[in-house]
Structure 1
């Protein structure tokens, strides 16, 4: 594709080819730093969605992809992994330009993490039970895991490549075909990813990419030829998608919002704790659903924790996301900047105390919000209950551990969390009482051999690990004569 690294595209990736849209509407990509248009792509019509789904359906029903062995599919993904690694710096720069992630994080986080995901699934595919014989006292069966079918993958703007890869990779390992719908704020990295799949030689129609507005996106979700929808984004949109899928009993995986708590126990090493929060609470300028934005600390250690946290935030340069020194960049859109600034005003109006930051910014351009730390936060305040998705932290003091656990669980969400302590056995005991899909001890991440996902309003289903592959298969059982089953 001659224009694969340009920032404006006139085509869609459908059926292994770069084809013109049937419409004339376009999606403009605006730099969060310069506030200028840096590129544009076609906005897919319903007819374009029909073409993409038809291409995926044809590749599934009549192509070779789902009929090849898992080993062959993994080999194709090894090629994808190599090509992506070769272009890591280019992908990082592109994502920084389209959504404002600091370049210091775009390399290791926006592209390094997708490479880790690919590595994990390439390894896990070798141990996943695609076929197994099960016998009881009187019966024998062959149990297979078949591809769930055509998958609509809808990804957000905050970590566009990471989420695309965590959905595409297990779907492809399972033998599915995919229509990828990128967020309108970040379609450029999706085009670059499409070019990687094209270069890797995947069969036509296995992966299709169609940027689209809300109407065409909803049409994709509701399309009768789509068997499975996987979505990462807001809980509000997730509820709507779940309702649409429910009407037709369509399979869905929903990775939604979070308001995760970090419980800092009295024996925690505060220097190590605060350093872990640099990325655990503020990476990608606070625009990550799994960040720990409710920080629970006892009255006994509150002041010394605040001093260290304030020093940490003050040490994180805010500015041009292309500058390697920058640790906090702009919000992705003017709308997001306004929403985050509004929450800061709400926090102040509710009586929380700003110990650092606020919505003001001295930059002449760029959608910045000054990193903000609130204390004297009550658990029922909106800034403690609602997902802000920006560099805003709420410090909530507690009297005892039982209260801290209750506050951590006092949330509509249950995506992530942390416990900080020097007593790891006790830390695990506390963590076991937190209703959340993932919880980290002293900031240690779970990696991608383990499932991630949420309780409650944080979603349905899991991604990563064997459970991630499980989301893209349908179990099928064959009753067999015992002697024949024993020979398999």
Structure 2
């Protein structure tokens, strides 16, 4: 191991200040602790924002809004591009920050936690240049007139992110909002404040005008509630659990604010007859277990045709040997820790309840987890009815479940038999048939045979308790735009 790698193992950003109106200022609220979930060590103490500082951040965003909204598309595009350049220059340390703050394995963190965000920023920079005006042409009743529909920035956006993907979740929100001409207040999860606070410093390095992006950290729900109910905030974008999302929607409703909510999922993975389960088993399990299963689109509900169950479990036992839980800096490790002890306890409670309800663990790792760190070995259950809590509720941990089905119609019914509808996958020997099945699935994203990476030009969001609205792509940008009809007589 090189000296650089050794240093990165313990590296965390030194920025502890909030970004308000283009100035890095110390938080005046209670301190919170940043903890490395792989070592359980406190890596920093972070002063949080007071209610007065929330007001100051919103006021700064409001003051900056007119100039940013009136800036040319080229100016906004250039600013977003500069952010991408600064992030690109700091890939190594951004990756280290994610590994040491979230516990994401290093091999996965750089690709999916850092570089993916940069790809999205660069796409958003191009999207800022798009003229979305629609010419409606003439109308003759009662007199000749002409109309166009222009799209105007909505105003100040509160961007509230979850802990599991601090960079990407922020980029999906503030990048789209800035491209649309809005200004923002960014509030990360208090479980992962360090990466986002450092991003505030990187925004300054990129020369983002004062007040266009403001960064706060809270010590609990009071800061977030004040932000979502603030009269100076026009839109609220949140990623997290459906329970918290419902509260945020209620809070935003007091001011009739628009909301974009990307919430939980219990995503099905449908395995149809004719596929090679031996060739697919490793990827199937890595996909739901990566990031410790702490992903809202984890395909942990495996609906397997009854003719494939035995072969799938046999192949999966071998595939499970490829799953390694442990030190996220070990490049052979692909499953890191849970974010905190309370979350590990919650995941373990799902496992205990599944056993108590008559479920059987059919896949598990035999290797012990490290003594330090909030680790949980991945397990897969079978033998549970589809209305069981473990089958229906998002675990947000490395716990999967196998549910057999006998007909394709039954598979579709089971896939849709959940309160969520974020994502789904269909493995089939007939791609066109898989594409046709997508129309029957109540899921915001449907992959066929694994699909591909999260494209910056495609929407992400879901049905039911999985949220409201869409992020990413043109659909994500339009969440922060208001259509304006302009009509004139010649």
Give the TM bin, normalised by the shorter chain.
over 0.9
Instruction: Give 1:182's aligned residue.
Output: 188
Relative to 1, partners in 2 of residues 1:279 and 1:88: Cα closer, same or farther, differing over 3 Å?
A: farther
Rounded Cα–Cα distance in structure 2 between residues aligned with 1:362 and 1:455: 36
Q: Output the aligned Cα RMSD.
A: 1.6
**Alpha-carbon shift at residue 76 of structure 1 (Å):** 1.0
Instruction: Give 1:469's aligned residue.
Output: 477
Relative to 1, partners in 2 of residues 1:362 and 1:144: Cα closer, same or farther, differing over 3 Å?
A: closer
How many residues get paired? 474
Deviation per CA, 1:357-397, whole angstroms, max 9, x where unpaired?
38995421110111101122321111110000011110101
Rounded Cα–Cα distance in structure 2 between residues aligned with 1:209 and 1:283: 28
**Correspondence 1:49 to 2:54:** yes
Rounded Cα–Cα distance in structure 1 between residues aligned with 2:75 and 2:122: 15
**Correspondence 1:90 to 2:93:** yes
**Correspondence 1:121 to 2:129:** no
**Correspondence 1:386 to 2:393:** yes
2:73 to 70, 73, 76: 70
Q: Is the 8 A contact 1:7 1:38 kept in 2?
A: no
Deviation per CA, 1:422-446, whole angstroms, max 9, x where unpaired?
1011111222111011010001136
Which secondary structure state, in structure 2, belongs to the residue aligned with residue 474 of structure 1?
A: strand
Instruction: Give 2:35's aligned residue.
Output: 30
1:137 to 131, 136, 139: 139
2:327 to 320, 330, 335: 320
Instruction: Give 1:485's aligned residue.
Output: none
Structure 1: where are the runs of 5+ without partners?
483-488
Relative to 1, partners in 2 of residues 1:379 and 1:55: Cα closer, same or farther, differing over 3 Å?
A: same
**Alpha-carbon shift at residue 303 of structure 1 (Å):** 0.8
Structure 1 segment 80-479 matched on structure 2, within 5 A: 80-127=83-130, 129=132, 131-138=133-140, 139-212=145-218, 213-357=220-364, 361-445=368-452, 447-479=455-487
Relative to 1, partners in 2 of residues 1:296 and 1:211: Cα closer, same or farther, differing over 3 Å?
A: same
Q: Is the 8 A contact 1:7 1:39 kept in 2?
A: no
Rounded Cα–Cα distance in structure 2 between residues aligned with 1:326 and 1:394: 22
Q: Is the 8 A contact 1:245 1:251 kept in 2?
A: yes
**Alpha-carbon shift at residue 454 of structure 1 (Å):** 0.5
Structure 2: where are the runs of 5+ without partners?
1-10
**Alpha-carbon shift at residue 412 of structure 1 (Å):** 0.2
Q: Is the 8 A contact 1:354 1:374 kept in 2?
A: yes
Choose 428-437 or 383-392, whichever is displaced more: 428-437
Deviation per CA, 1:85-117, whole angstroms, max 9, x where unpaired?
111111011011011111111100110210121
Give the TM-score of the pair, scaled to structure 1. 0.94
Q: Is the 8 A contact 2:184 2:214 kept in 1?
A: yes
Rounded Cα–Cα distance in structure 2 between residues aligned with 1:359 and 1:26: 40
Rounded Cα–Cα distance in structure 2 between residues aligned with 1:57 and 1:125: 20
Q: Is the 8 A contact 2:229 2:254 kept in 1?
A: no
Q: Is the 8 A contact 2:80 2:124 kept in 1?
A: no
**Alpha-carbon shift at residue 121 of structure 1 (Å):** 2.0
Q: Is the 8 A contact 2:180 2:481 kept in 1?
A: yes
Which secondary structure state, in structure 1, belongs to the residue aligned with residue 151 of structure 2?
A: strand
Give the TM-score of the pair, scaled to structure 2. 0.94
**Alpha-carbon shift at residue 143 of structure 1 (Å):** 1.9
